[in-house]
């Protein structure tokens, strides 16, 4: 197995380990819209569905690679985002017309 394959496998396993226990729509905070983002696109203020809850990102930092260390309100330990993930972003932060 090459390094690229190992990284993709690890990211997939990490994503499965933290899959929300509830459907995403049940976790969505009011006034937000779902959006799939890469680690480089996630923002402070986004909400991350994780482990059956939904946590607001209060701070983050890069790891020197393509992942981000996220500090989440209401959760003691930081969480490392290594690949694409669905987050909920406040609707007022979208800068294009939304479909009605």
User: What residues contact residue 18 under an 8 Å CB cut-off, 6+ apart?
Assistant: 50, 51, 79
Kindly state the DSSP code that residue 63 receives in the 8-state scheme: -
**Could you tell me the pTM of the whole model?**
0.73
Look at residue 64 in the predicted model and tell me its pLDDT. Answer: 75
Task: Indicate whether 98 belongs to any domain.
Answer: no
H runs (alpha helix) in 1-100: 3-17, 24-27
Task: Indicate whether 83 belongs to any domain.
Answer: yes
| pLDDT digits (tens), the chain, 100 positions | 556 665 555 555 455 445 556 788 888 999 999 999 999 999 999 999 998 899 999 999 988 778 999 999 999 999 999 999 999 999 888 776 655 5
Look at residue 20 in the predicted model and tell me its pLDDT. Answer: 54
Range of the domain at 65: 3-92
Whole-angstrom distance, CA of residue 36 vs CA of residue 75 = 22
Nearest by Cα to 92 from 41, 38, 29 = 29
Tokens 């569905």, located at residue: 49
Task: Indicate whether 63 belongs to any domain.
Answer: yes
Whole-angstrom distance, CA of residue 89 vs CA of residue 10 = 26
Whole-angstrom distance, CA of residue 17 vs CA of residue 44 = 23
Look at residue 52 in the predicted model and tell me its pLDDT. Answer: 85
**Number of independent structural domains in the chain:** 1
């Amino acid at each position: 197995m090459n390094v690229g394959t190992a990284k993709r496998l690890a990211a997939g396993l990490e994503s499965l380990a933290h899959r929300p226990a509830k459907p995403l729509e049940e976790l969505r905070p009011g006034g937000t819209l779902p959006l799939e983002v890469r680690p480089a696109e996630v923002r402070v203020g986004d909400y991350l569905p994780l482990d059956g809850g939904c946590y607001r990102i209060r701070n983050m930092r890069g790891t020197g690679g393509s992942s981000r260390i996220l500090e989440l309100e209401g959760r003691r330990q930081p969480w490392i985002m290594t690949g694409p993930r669905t987050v909920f972003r406040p609707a007022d932060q979208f800068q294009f017309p939304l479909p009605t």
